[in-house]
């Protein structure tokens, strides 16, 4: 049975979500792992403001930014080893302080009840993505999850989102990407899906400067945007003048 959902006048069969900053608030655990690594390197700890600015481009870039921010930047060769240690620290207790954002579970359940396929497209490593989704009780609500090392490319490259949609069996013109930052909007535009940003995540670029179809303050506002339920939205196409 086809889904009744529609977005921008088009039918929608799938919604793909970013993970960190969209479905979950993982900054405390990522910061803990980064600061443990920095302590081992004799560096100062990052503030939570810095941690939040560094999230969104995968583990390697987070480590690269952390090293550059606290002293001498790491060489490419050394960065590989540092990233491996960071991931080990993170995966040792990846959900100690991580929380699911309000209305996420209800929204996912209602989307699935409406017949939509649900995906996750994140730059977090695949193994950590699967473990976090499982531990937080989200895995059975997700039809396909593609981490940053699942394909040869990652967000904002269109191939990452298109690969996720292939796993879901849904074409791009019948899908919506929901995220929290400029890479999520860019990958949606590149792949040809709808683009929705939440206003509560880890965006580095001001949201009103990002080209997107809509902005929402809570995830359940997506339901009204898709014609599936009540909610209020901040709906403005493209950057504001």
**Tokens standing for residue 48:** 């939570």
Distance CA(125)–CA(91), nearest Å, equals 10
Nearest-CA neighbor of 174 among 220, 138, 226?
226
Catalytic residue among 13, 18, 20, 29: 18
Q: C-alpha angle 34/39/42, rounded to 5°?
A: 130
Catalytic, 106? Answer no
Nearest-CA neighbor of 118 among 10, 24, 18?
18
Positions marked catalytic: 18
């Amino acid at each position: 049975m086809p889904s009744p959902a529609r977005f921008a006048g088009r039918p929608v069969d799938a919604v793909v979500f970013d993970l960190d900053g969209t479905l979950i608030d993982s900054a405390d655990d990522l910061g803990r792992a980064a600061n443990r690594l920095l302590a081992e390197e004799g560096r100062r700890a990052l503030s939570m403001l810095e941690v939040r600015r560094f999230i969104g481009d995968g583990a390697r870039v987070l480590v690269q930014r952390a090293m550059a921010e606290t002293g001498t930047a790491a060489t490419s060769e050394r960065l590989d080893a540092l990233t491996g240690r960071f991931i080990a620290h993170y995966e040792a207790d990846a959900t100690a302080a991580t929380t699911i954002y309000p209305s996420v579970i209800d929204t996912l359940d209602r989307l699935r009840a409406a017949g939509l396929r649900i995906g996750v497209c994140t730059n977090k490593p695949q193994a950590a993505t699967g473990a976090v989704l499982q531990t937080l009780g989200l895995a059975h609500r997700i039809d396909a999850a593609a981490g940053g090392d699942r394909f040869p490319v990652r967000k904002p490259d269109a191939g990452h989102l298109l690969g996720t949609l292939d796993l879901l069996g849904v074409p791009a013109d019948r899908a919506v990407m929901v995220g929290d930052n400029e890479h999520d909007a860019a990958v949606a535009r590149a792949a040809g899906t709808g683009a929705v940003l939440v206003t509560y995540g880890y965006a580095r670029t001001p949201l009103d400067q990002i080209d997107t179809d809509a902005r929402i303050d809570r995830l359940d506002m997506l339901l009204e945007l898709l014609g599936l339920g009540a909610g209020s939205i901040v709906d403005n196409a493209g950057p504001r003048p």
